[in-house]
């Protein structure tokens, strides 16, 4: 018995050394494969992201989300990943897929126990991955936001006034509701659309929609405002409408502006493209889209249809 047990120990030690060597070789193989793939994956991701993504998010948030995309790319994962912030007020959804209706599906699955007050939607230029960010109302009162420095925004206010023709004080009051770092403040056209659609909603006390053809008719800028529906409902229903008609969402932003007492105004902006011309005969397509996009009459028709849908 003694001799048998004495022979077991060196065999066991030899097996451990062999397994350790195999594990080391596997690690080296993995490292070589990942290093080979990483440069290409990183380059594709960075090239595919819109400029606004790098302007609007912090470096830490970008690194966290890009690491998730890298891991999904290396492992060839198609299921989306949800990244929740430590305070629970933000959720980032990262996915290596994109199709009409994806945003509407995600809005059904994000937590419903918190009030959605903002969102930023980014789609890669090749439409092969998305990074969607959702912001929720904090459970406790947040510290008051520092007042907007008008000296930094006066040019935006003046540009919007020139576009909409409204009194400068009225425009200034509207712009003051945005966070000073909001990307939209660098785009007077987007601010003007949101200003006008909010005026329409306030005047009629109903949901208002503006549908503007941009980029030679290849894309459209859709702006929706409602004081009677929650921000989540406005965002979700608009996404569902676009999905039913096979419009691709390139970018989207959601704002929930507080008003007097408990009132609010939910405003959502979408940059959309499509649908494909070869499928225009389908019931779910807009038949009036041609090689040069949609004309003003068609835009008004779609806007009215979306307003009724909401």
Confidence (pTM): 0.73
Q: What is the pLDDT of residue 295?
A: 65
Answer with the residue of higher pLDDT: 22 or 103.
Answer: 103
Residue 116 contacts residue 134 (beta carbons within 8 Å): yes
> What is the Cα–Cα distance from 251 to 130, expressed in whole angstroms?
10
pLDDT at 32: 73
Any idea which of 188-192, 251-255, 293-297 has the lowest mean pLDDT? 293-297
* Average pLDDT score over the chain: 79
In contact, 172 and 157? CB cutoff 8 Å: yes
User: 117-156 pLDDT, tens per residue?
Assistant: 888 899 988 888 899 999 888 766 545 444 444 446 788 8
**Among all chains, which residue has been given the structure tokens 């992201």?**
49
Which residue did the predictor score with more confidence, 294 or 159? Answer: 159
Cα–Cα distance for residue pair 253/235, rounded to 1 Å: 9
Bridge partners (DSSP) of residue 95 are: 130
Would you state the pLDDT for residue 303?
Answer: 85
> Pick from 82, 46, 86: which is nearest to 63 by CA?
46
Average pLDDT over residues 260-269: 81
pLDDT beyond 80 at 33: no
Identify whether the C-beta of residue 41 lies closer than 8 Å to the C-beta of residue 73: yes
Can you say whether residue 136 is alpha, beta or left, with left for phi > 0 and alpha for psi between -120 and 50 degrees? beta
What b/e sequence results for 156-176 when a residue is b if at least 16 CB atoms lie within 10 Å of its CB, and e otherwise? Answer: bbebbbebbeeeeeebbebbe
pLDDT digits (tens, 9 = 90+) for 272-303: 987 644 333 333 433 344 444 556 777 888 88
Q: Is the per-residue pLDDT at 261 higher than 70?
A: no
Q: What DSSP assignment string belongs to 225-249?
A: EESSS-HHHHHHHHHHHHHHTT-EE
């Amino acid at each position: 018995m003694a001799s048998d047990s004495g022979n077991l120990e060196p065999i066991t030690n030899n097996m451990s050394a062999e397994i350790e060597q195999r594990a080391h070789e596997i690690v080296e193989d993995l490292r070589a494969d990942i290093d080979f793939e990483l440069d290409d994956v990183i380059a594709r991701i960075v090239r595919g992201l819109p400029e606004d993504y790098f302007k609007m998010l912090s470096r830490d948030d970008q690194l966290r989300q890009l690491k998730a995309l890298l891991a999904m790319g290396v492992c060839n994962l198609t299921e989306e990943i949800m990244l929740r912030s430590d305070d629970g007020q933000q959720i980032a959804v990262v996915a290596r897929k994109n199709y009409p209706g994806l945003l509407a599906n995600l809005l059904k699955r994000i937590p419903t126990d918190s009030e959605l007050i903002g969102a930023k939607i980014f789609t890669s230029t090749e439409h092969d991955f998305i990074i969607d960010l959702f912001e929720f109302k904090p459970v406790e009162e947040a510290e008051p936001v520092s007042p907007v420095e008008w000296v930094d925004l006066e040019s935006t206010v003046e540009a919007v006034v020139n576009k909409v023709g409204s009194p400068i004080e009225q425009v200034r009051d509207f712009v003051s509701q945005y966070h000073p770092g909001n990307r939209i403040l660098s785009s007077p056209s987007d601010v003007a659309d949101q200003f006008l659609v909010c005026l329409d909603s306030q005047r009629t006390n109903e949901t208002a929609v503006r549908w503007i053809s941009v980029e030679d008719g290849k894309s459209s800028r859709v702006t929706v405002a409602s004081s009677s529906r929650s921000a989540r409902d406005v965002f979700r229903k608009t996404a569902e409408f676009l999905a039913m008609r096979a419009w691709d969402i390139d970018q989207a932003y959601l704002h929930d502006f507080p008003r007097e007492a408990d009132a609010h105004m939910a405003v959502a902006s979408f940059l959309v493209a499509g649908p494909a011309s070869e499928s225009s005969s389908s019931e779910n397509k807009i038949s009036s889209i041609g090689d040069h996009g949609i004309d003003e009459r068609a835009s008004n028709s779609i806007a009215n249809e979306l307003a009724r849908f909401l």
